[in-house]
Amino acid sequence: MAAADVLNKYWADSNGEIPLPVDATIIAERLGAEVFAGDLSQEDNDLSGFIYIPPSGPPQITINSTDHIHRRRFTCAHEVGHMLDVRGNQLREGGFVDRRDTMSSAGTDPREVFANAFAATLLMPSDEVEWLAEELDLYGLARRFRVSTDAMQNRLDTLGLRPLG
């Protein structure tokens, strides 16, 4: 399922509008996953989160509770991407451990590239970004979508948009 379809099916309100900011934790739960938060920094400072998708039963997502809220939100959206990727490819099970480097926009692993693109599209839907880029500057947009300015700038670049200011 593409991110836009997930938004329409699991996040849009009864008028078909997309409430902002998008909350990937709620979407993950509506898709049947269990989402946990834990202090992962003691084990590995760069660990953002992980997901295990068992052969049966709910996928389990764990997010590093010590990360900044922007990062936690992006990690959760990224894990939802992994979950739908595994299900969409009808794999029996899947597991991903996400560190700062696997989630970097410079990464080349196709599974990670997919999850990153999915997360960006889920948290910053193209129509909403396009509309709001006519009224807000980069900081206003980042606040509205509740993402980092880096993530917002990447998304604007992907869509070929320039915000006000």
Which of 96, 133, 155, 163 touches Zn ion by CB under 5 A? 96
- Residue nearest to Zn ion as judged by C-beta position: 98
The rounded distance, in Å, linking the Cα atoms of 24 and 76 is 6
CB of 128 to Zn ion, least distance (A): 24
Q: Are residues 121 and 154 in contact, defined by beta-carbon separation less than 8 angstroms?
A: no
**Closer residue to Zn ion in complex, CB, 24/115:** 115
Q: Nearest CA to 99 among 52, 49, 25?
A: 49
Alpha helices in 20-148 (DSSP H): 24-30, 69-88, 110-123, 126-132, 138-145
**Per-residue interface string for the shown chain with Zn ion, residues 112-141, x marking contact by CB under 5 A:** x--x--------------------------
Residues in contact with Zn ion by the rule CB under 5 A: 96, 98, 112, 115
